[in-house]
Amino acid sequence: MLVVGNWKMNGDLARNEVLLADVCMGLPSDVDVAVCVPFPYLAQVAERSGEGALQLGAQDVSQFAEGAYTGEVSAAMLRDFRVRYAIVGHSERRALFGETDRVVAVKAKAALSAGLMPIVCIGETLEEREAGVVESVLARQLDAVLAEITPVEWGGVVLAYEPVWAIGTGRTATPEQVQEVLGFVRAWLRQKGVNATAVKILYGGSVKPESAVNLFGLPDCDGGLIGGASLDARSFLGICEAGLVASRLKLD
């Protein structure tokens, strides 16, 4: 199980300190937990997490390796701060910053090449769901990634299914809706010659401690990408605990 917090553009040094202290104190073992934080706070989290179990992630990464790209942060720079994960293609970046399927895929490749694990976000909008085109939208987003990343390299990729209509809305997708999509994604991977069981697939979108066990317990769900609830230590730890419960249930 992998539980990843996405702080988005929230926090300051003092608030982070409190949140990190509380989170680090309560982390369950046997669940991989990471937080993806704004770039300026990577060093703070790196220091705080020390030898501890909390892993470090960024919320974006440049598609370029080095050079005259003002404002960009490369995957190698992130590696310098012991960053392990980089979210790419979050729906907010796709919608607000014009990131295309191809840009997202090239960013995922850049992350992989530098030794980071990209967390590639995919998901449909409400209009797309209502139009019945969920699978074709996801296939299009995944095909773009497949054009950059070989089936063997997919072992280093994490996928996050985040229906856009469920992000930050309090409207969690039902376990049935989530499993239907995750099952489709797993089958798509298999069909493309990827070792599908080696790829972690997360669900994201208004996950709360109360909904987490049912979601994480789904056959094809390997954890969650958590936005709002990751800013509150109790909620985030509750969700991490749900990851532990779900993984034990799956082992039984």
Give catalytic residue positions: 90, 162
Q: Residue 163, interface with ligand PGA (CB under 6 A)?
A: no
Q: Which of 167, 182, 189, 196 binds ligand PGA (CB under 6 A)?
A: 167
Nearer to ligand PGA, 4 or 145 (CB): 4
Crossing angle for the helix pair 134-146 and 101-113, to the nearest 10 degrees:
40
Nearest to 244 by CA among 228, 220, 223: 223
Verify binding: residue 235, ligand PGA, rule CB under 6 A: no
Left, alpha or beta for 193 (phi > 0: left; psi -120 to 50: alpha)? left
Q: Which among 197, 214, 229, 184 is positioned nearest to 4, based on CA atoms? A: 229
Q: Which of 162, 220, 222, 241 binds ligand PGA (CB under 6 A)?
A: 162
Q: For ligand PGA, give the closer residue by CB, 37 or 226.
A: 226
Q: Of 67, 89, 65, 87, nearest to 75 (Cα)?
A: 65
223 binds ligand PGA (CB under 6 A): no
Give yes or no for residue 5 binding ligand PGA (CB under 6 A): no
**What minimum distance in Å lies between the beta carbon of 210 and ligand PGA?**
13
Q: Which residues of 191-211 are buried (b: 16+ CB within 10 A; e: fewer)?
A: eeebebeebbbbbbbbbbbeb
Stretch that binds ligand PGA, among 45-53, 58-66, 112-120, 220-228 (CB under 6 A): 220-228
Q: List interacting residues with ligand PGA (CB under 6 A).
A: 6, 162, 167-168, 204-207, 225-229
